[in-house]
Structure 1
Amino acid sequence: MNFGTVVITAGLCGLLSFILLAVSIGTEYWYIIDVDEEKNSSLEYSSSHSGLWRIYEGPNGSFHDISFYSDTSNHTEQEKHLLNLHRVIVILFPLSLVLLVFGGIFGLVASLAQSYTLLSCIAAYFLICSVLTVSGVSIYISYSQQALEELQHMVSVESLAHVHMSFGWSLLMACLSFSLELFTGILLMLAANLTQRQCQHEPAAVFSMS
């Protein structure tokens, strides 16, 4: 595999990872609650899907924003803990998205310069971005599980018998973005090694010609 193919593939992977993460952040299908309305006659719960900032409920799609800066004096310690986790989540994902933009710019410069040092640094940069993204995914999964456990302590098991909860495709997009960020970093590291080998071969070729 030559240098050009590697860097073009890395660029496409980096661009796709940015698009997937942007779509993930901007959509509201991170967590889905599906209620069997025929069996759930109490109408205590309604089907909903939520994003990082909003929750959509009911068949008419009404929504309300998730407040992160409301008064927490009346909240329990567990509720405060969950709110803090959500605050971390909504910081990590946009931060990772912004870092991907700079990574794309610096990656293009490093590829044009064919610099081993620059390519190695950008490869490490993308690996750091992938760590931020997967950290956000992991914290969101942990947050959702803890929120479900808190809900189970508050209501009876029978009332949740016909309520199905699952992660949505928005979270899947974030996971795919993480995989592509990781793959981009690996490809850029490979491009850096190819550049180093080329630099080592050029003096040898000059020496043999002389």
Structure 2
Amino acid sequence: MARLAALLLAAALGALLSFALLAAAVASDYWYILEVADAGDRAGRAERLSSHSGLWRTCEGQNSCIPLIDPFSSKGLDVSPSVQHLLSLHRAVMVVLPLSLILIVCGWVCGLLSSLARSVPLLLLTGCYFLLGGALTLAGVSIYISYSHLAFEETARQYGLQHMQGVHISFGWSVALAWGSCALEALSGTLLLAAARTLSLSRLPGAPHSVAI
């Protein structure tokens, strides 16, 4: 049963690392990076106009970070439909990704219980649970990317494209951490499904349980 133990251990470590990566991503402020090119203005002006943002706040230049607009308290604002759509996307991201963190913890506990019980149905259920959790994390990151592109387009529409010529946007290492968490969550689910299959095969009539030399 060494193969089974290795699969279960790898799945547990993958789930722990997935949680750590997603927690670091959600708490960090390098999801969205906005850089302003230096067009010959005073030294440091472009740096002050540049910013980086997370899910909860934005940091502009050397200034301290300020909280983003709370999308849940702005439902009644009189804004355009495009801004309302952006706020709804922001709300979705702020719900989905923290929910993914909670689901990883619940999945890890279920995986531990199913491993101790050596239950094939529980291992199958937990493996599918992790795969669905990875899909949820993937959906959250995808929504954030869509939200960021639409927010930039809305800003360019309001201020004019000529004011955005020297602006470069990119996604930071926080997004990379979220992608890594998603991949590890899916890997943990796959390993649990493989462990369930290994355990099921070992219980078939005539299956060898040990080899004597």
Same fold (TM over 0.5): yes
Aligned AA (1:2): R
Size of the aligned set, in residue pairs, is: 204
User: Is 1:49 paired with 2:49?
Assistant: no
Aligned AA (1:8): L
1:137 alignment partner in structure 2: 141
CA contact (8 A) 1:72 1:80 kept: no
Distance in 2 (alpha carbons) for counterparts of 1:205 and 1:157: 70
Could you tell me how far 1:74 is from its partner in structure 2?
A: 2.4
Percent identity, aligned pairs only?
40
User: Is 1:128 paired with 2:132?
Assistant: yes
Q: Per-residue CA shift, 1:25-77, capped at 9, x if unaligned?
A: 00111100011245467x69811111111111122334233322136432100
User: Is 1:182 paired with 2:186?
Assistant: yes
Distance in 1 (alpha carbons) for counterparts of 2:167 and 2:147: 19
TM-score of the two chains, using structure 1 as the length reference: 0.90
Q: Per-residue CA shift, 1:170-205, capped at 9, x if unaligned?
A: 11111110000000000000000000001115x556
Q: Of 151, 159, 162, which aligns to 1:158?
A: 162
1:9 alignment partner in structure 2: 10
Q: CA RMSD in A?
A: 2.0
CA contact (8 A) 1:39 1:162 kept: no
Aligned AA (1:158): Q
Distance in 1 (alpha carbons) for counterparts of 2:57 and 2:108: 30
TM-score of the two chains, using structure 2 as the length reference: 0.89
User: Is 1:118 paired with 2:122?
Assistant: yes
1:63 alignment partner in structure 2: 66
Could you tell me how far 1:100 is from its partner in structure 2?
A: 0.5
Distance in 2 (alpha carbons) for counterparts of 1:128 and 1:92: 13
Judged with a 3 Å threshold, the aligned counterparts in structure 2 of structure 1 residues 4 and 37 are, in CA distance, closer, same or farther, namely same
Moved over 3 A (4+): 37-41, 203-206
Distance in 2 (alpha carbons) for counterparts of 1:39 and 1:156: 21
1:23 alignment partner in structure 2: 24
Aligned AA (2:52): H
Unaligned runs of 5+ in 2: none
Q: Per-residue CA shift, 1:98-153, capped at 9, x if unaligned?
A: 01101111101111111110100000110110111000011111111111111221
Could you tell me how far 1:169 is from its partner in structure 2?
A: 0.8
